[in-house]
Structure 1
Amino acid sequence: MSTHIHGVQQAAYNEFKLNDRIKNRCKVNKNATPRVVFNEECQMDRKSSKNIQFGRRQRTYQRCQRQGIPRNPKTLDEIKTYLEQEEVLNRIGKTLHCEPKMFYQQTVITALFAYCIFASESILTNLPAILNMRIDGTFKVVPAGPFKQLLIICVDVSGHSFPLSYVLLTRKTQAAYMQLFKQLQSKWKLTPMTITTDYERGLRNALRMHYPSAELVGCWFHFIQAIRKRASKIPGFMTFLKTDSSAKKLYRKFYNIPLLKDDKINIAFELLKQEASSFGTRFNEFIKYFHDQWILKEGPSSISVFLQSHRTNNLLDSY
């Protein structure tokens, strides 16, 4: 009996020591996630790890890892000062090559907006003379603080897309984009042949100003997303499409208009418009929206993705 009790106590002690080792490693290792640390330690001591569950201790390990990490800078001046510290530059401001190069470039603060540029100098120095560029913005992964958008700039090389630059912006205005691309051009003379973006007006206007010889191509995914969003706001329209398969089929044909050559888009729109008249006034508001937004405002040449090797910017989500 006493031997059994001693064995139970020893097992509990071993589990305690293993858990302690995991917590200590989490405190000193800021690069590996708690899950990675947990798995590595459990692999080295499988006997003691039988009854230890990561889910029950995850928050404890995360708190251990946060110890010693300085608080996130809150203001633009704090962010700029933080990123320019030598210790921070060595930890997160350089690439992971055998010979690290600068990844953090600069933080620019003005009265109306600010932006923070990260870019790979290794890629920049090996770019072809003429290239295709892709630009997309996201709000989901932006750190809490003054920055509101992360702009990702990629380039296509040999059939593959590579991230060229990441830019944190406080505002998504035309003035902010104008200043940003002026800054990028002053540092790196890029000569894009095509630039694929969503249909954000300020961004596209700034690109036209700085890259007048480049062809601006719209993102097919964002085109469909915009149509769906607008259609859902038309009273009763989506309900009507759900109850009439022929109407739904016609509606979805509008998704494919950008697949046509630009000089065929107006013809296709008129044909679909004529077909929509067979449903009475049901399509009237949608037809007016499509005509005003995509035929007149954006224009056929802007929305056409005819013969484009990549019709969307979805691959940027990988970065």
Structure 2
Amino acid sequence: MDIAVQRVPGKRAGSFIYVTEDNYIFHLYKERALRCRKHKHYACLARLTMSGERFLMKGHHTHANEENEIARIAVENEHPNAVIGFGPNLERAIQRARRRLQPAIPHSFDEAERTLTGSDMYRKTLDQSADFFHGRVSTDTGNALIFISLALLPLIRTTREIRSVGTFKTVPNLFYQLFTLHVLAYGKSFPVAYVLMSNKTADLYRMAIDRILQILQEVNPGDQFEVEVLISDFELAIMGTMQQAIPNARSRGCWFHYAQAIYRRACKEGLQRAYRSGGVIRNIVKKLIALALLPSNRAYEGFQTIRHRTENALLAENPQSRAGVARLFQYMGGYWFTNQGPERFCVSGDDHRTNNEVESFNRWFNARCGPHHQNFWSFIQHLQECNENTERDFIAIRAAQQIRRPQRLVNKRRDRNIKTLTELLTSGAIQIYEFLDVADEFFEPDQLDRTVDGLARPAPENDDLEGQAGIAAEEQAPVHRQPVRRRRLSAENVDEVPAIRRRGRPRRILIENLNEGNEPLRPPRGRPRQLRIPGGAFAELAAAELPAPRPRGRPRRIPVAAAAALGVVEPVIVAPAVVEPVIAAPPVVAADHHDPQPAHICDICTINPKNKIFIPCGHMVCHQCAEQLERVARNLCFYCRTAVAQIFNYFP
């Protein structure tokens, strides 16, 4: 099909974009071939073939046209030298002008309800076509304001999945969280109700859900629900309330949050370093995560299989790791199998195993609101805009338009593999341990620490059950704490920081406190110095002795006590090498000044006492591990991967 195309100057000098008569933008990617500008984001298959002055259209667009973007580009091309000044002063002036148009900020729930009820601007939707605010519910300890999309509310009766989630990053000061209900329609998730809550109790959740169902009965009378699955993030109050409201549906949690809880518990038990080293502990943690892919009636069988199959391999681990794994098994049996139950964490047979799409909505909404808590009226306006966008997306998807990014190929491939693996297990072609051996590669929990906002509520806080597997533990009321940015290592895996006294430029380490911790000092600025051998190449330490490096300027010194009290301190030079031989286990050193105490044992080999200190990071190891560093010659600290300039002997 021939189509009229106009060539327009692009952003870069000498570049061009191609605008079609139906307001779509194309880019040239071959000599005579063009593709839609949104071919990646929306998987758009529309293409243009250029033949002289003619353009032949192939395929169809999967998104709306870009009329507004084309108009913006035209204005920029018409006024290329126009300068638009927008600084902090202008931004603040705009905020003041907007604030003058808003009512007074409410300081109580009664005032907020009264102002919302009397203002059509905030009580109705953004286009003023329907009511958006639907009243307030209260308990003895909390209050909640209900906002509902009447256009999407009837979907609750016909959807097969209802998802619920809360966020608290940008809510007004009167409230604790924004609780949202989402329904699944046309393969996508749409929010239908927004609840501003002052606290999180089962009674307040129950009253909010009852009000939403009451409005549903008024809009769409009937008693029929087709809901099969209720998905949340293992918060007992939400799961119990949703189960009571729709008893015929199955209430379960999110596989992503379950995996996060297992991995964080392993880190809490001191297994993070062993997990990253590989071996049996990594195998155990990943197979415990894969238990959720089993049918609920076979999950406990899989748990026992993991324990029996790894029993002999655990004998080769150190006592601390074995004790940590035992506590991890105890937590798994006491909390997940007794308190939650396999029916709540198993996702076998479900098309949607996680709540990630709803968590993505939270991230989008919080980013739209900004980095801070909003004032009450600005937050209501953001809710109105969110509701308008959602209703517009629903209309677009019913018109066969692409509204969101399609699923990635790697995720589609993983879904197919999980489905095939489940069918093989059901038919008896493979055993449970074979299933877990393959399924443990479908999820890598060590990447969870890089996520901040989306993992605000990964798991309930009352999962610290110490009972044996199979013994019911007393169910506690869920307690939620405000999320904070987590450090890379959990608190259990970080040693205490040695005392550091800073006076002027030099850094001084108190030798008497070195035995109390192994926390690295701040690395020096700039690139680390490297030792060079004449000839421009590095050589093996075994082949030739390296000359001592020529000092440059005044050397940095670490003051220590007198030699008579602390022993002799002598430097050892470390240089990089090309060959990396296999590192053998360090032998046990029999001769020593005294029997090493547990705090003095090297953390690398867990055998010999610490008698070497890395400079400048301040970490301590035994002399055998220090020799391994010299032999491998990577010149990096085992703990913090900081470049090691020198190694000093330390005699306690």
* Fold similarity call, TM over 0.5: yes
Q: Which residue of 2 aligns with 1:261?
A: 295
- Is the aligned partner of 1:114 residue 2:143? yes
Matched residue SS, 1:52: coil
Choose which of 119, 126, 149 in structure 1 pairs with 2:177.
Answer: 149
Q: Do the aligned residues in 1 keep the contact of 2:159 with 2:185 (CA within 8 Å)?
A: no
Q: Do the aligned residues in 2 keep the contact of 1:154 with 1:163 (CA within 8 Å)?
A: yes
Q: Distance in 2 between matches of 1:85 and 1:168?
A: 19
Structure 1, gaps ≥5 residues long: 1-38
- Is the aligned partner of 1:229 residue 2:264? yes
How far apart are 1:215 and its partner, in Å?
A: 0.9
- Pairwise CA RMSD: 2.8
How far apart are 1:158 and its partner, in Å?
A: 2.8
Letter in 2 for 1:177: Y
How far apart are 1:114 and its partner, in Å?
A: 0.9
Distance 1:96 1:126, change over 3 A: farther
Q: Distance in 1 between matches of 2:253 and 2:298?
A: 17
How far apart are 1:206 and its partner, in Å?
A: 1.8
- Is the aligned partner of 1:92 residue 2:135? no
Q: Distance in 1 between matches of 2:77 and 2:105?
A: 34
Letter in 2 for 1:73: P
Distance 1:167 1:279, change over 3 A: same
Q: Which residue of 2 aligns with 1:289?
A: 331
Letter in 1 for 2:329: I
How far apart are 1:85 and its partner, in Å?
A: 1.9
Identity of aligned residues (%): 26
Q: Which residue of 1 aligns with 2:361?
A: 318
Q: Do the aligned residues in 1 keep the contact of 2:280 with 2:310 (CA within 8 Å)?
A: no
Letter in 2 for 1:299: G
Distance 1:73 1:214, change over 3 A: same
How far apart are 1:96 and its partner, in Å?
A: 4.2
Give every structure 1 segment of 4 or more consecutive aligned residues whose post-TM-superposition deviation is greater than 6 Å. Answer: none
Choose which of 201, 205, 213 in structure 1 pairs with 2:240.
Answer: 205
Letter in 2 for 1:149: Q
Q: Which residue of 1 aligns with 2:273?
A: 239
Match runs of 1:62-101 below 5 Å? 62-86=95-119, 89=120, 91-96=121-126, 100-101=129-130
Matched residue SS, 2:252: strand
Length-normalised TM-score, structure 2: 0.39
Deviation track 1:262-309 (CA, whole Å, cap 9, x = no partner) reads: 122112111222244322424111111111111121111111111212
Q: Do the aligned residues in 2 keep the contact of 1:276 with 1:283 (CA within 8 Å)?
A: no
Choose which of 172, 192, 203 in structure 2 pairs with 1:164.
Answer: 192
Which structure carries more helix by proportion?
A: 1
Matched residue SS, 1:124: coil
Q: Distance in 1 between matches of 2:84 and 2:107?
A: 41
Deviation track 1:84-130 (CA, whole Å, cap 9, x = no partner) reads: 122xx3x3332346x71111111123332111111111112455446
Matched residue SS, 1:203: helix
If asked which structure has higher relative contact order (CA below 8 Å, sep 6+), I would say 1
How far apart are 1:58 and its partner, in Å?
A: 4.0
Distance 1:164 1:53, change over 3 A: closer
Q: Do the aligned residues in 1 keep the contact of 2:233 with 2:254 (CA within 8 Å)?
A: yes
Q: Do the aligned residues in 1 keep the contact of 2:159 with 2:184 (CA within 8 Å)?
A: no
Higher mean alpha-carbon deviation, 214-223 vs 239-248, is at 239-248
Q: Which residue of 2 aligns with 1:26?
A: none
Q: Which residue of 2 aligns with 1:11?
A: none
Letter in 2 for 1:267: E
How far apart are 1:78 and its partner, in Å?
A: 1.5
Deviation track 1:223-244 (CA, whole Å, cap 9, x = no partner) reads: 122223323322x221232334
Q: Distance in 2 between matches of 1:100 and 1:154?
A: 22
Q: Distance in 1 between matches of 2:85 and 2:196?
A: 41
Q: Do the aligned residues in 2 keep the contact of 1:149 with 1:171 (CA within 8 Å)?
A: yes
How far apart are 1:196 and its partner, in Å?
A: 0.8
From the CA coordinates, give the structure whose radius of gyration is larger.
2
Q: How many matched pairs?
A: 274
Distance 1:60 1:279, change over 3 A: farther
How far apart are 1:181 and its partner, in Å?
A: 2.1
Q: Distance in 2 between matches of 1:218 and 1:251?
A: 19
Distance 1:297 1:177, change over 3 A: same
Q: Do the aligned residues in 1 keep the contact of 2:144 with 2:197 (CA within 8 Å)?
A: yes
Q: Which residue of 2 aligns with 1:299?
A: 341
Letter in 2 for 1:167: V
Q: Do the aligned residues in 2 keep the contact of 1:142 with 1:150 (CA within 8 Å)?
A: yes
Letter in 2 for 1:94: K
Length-normalised TM-score, structure 1: 0.76
Q: Distance in 2 between matches of 1:288 and 1:224?
A: 16
Distance 1:142 1:53, change over 3 A: closer
Deviation track 1:51-87 (CA, whole Å, cap 9, x = no partner) reads: 735578544544454444344212111211121122x
Matched residue SS, 2:152: helix
Q: Distance in 2 between matches of 1:178 and 1:102?
A: 22
Q: Distance in 1 between matches of 2:102 and 2:78?
A: 29
- Is the aligned partner of 1:177 residue 2:205? yes
Letter in 2 for 1:218: G
Q: Distance in 1 between matches of 2:332 and 2:277?
A: 22
Q: Which residue of 2 aligns with 1:250?
A: 284
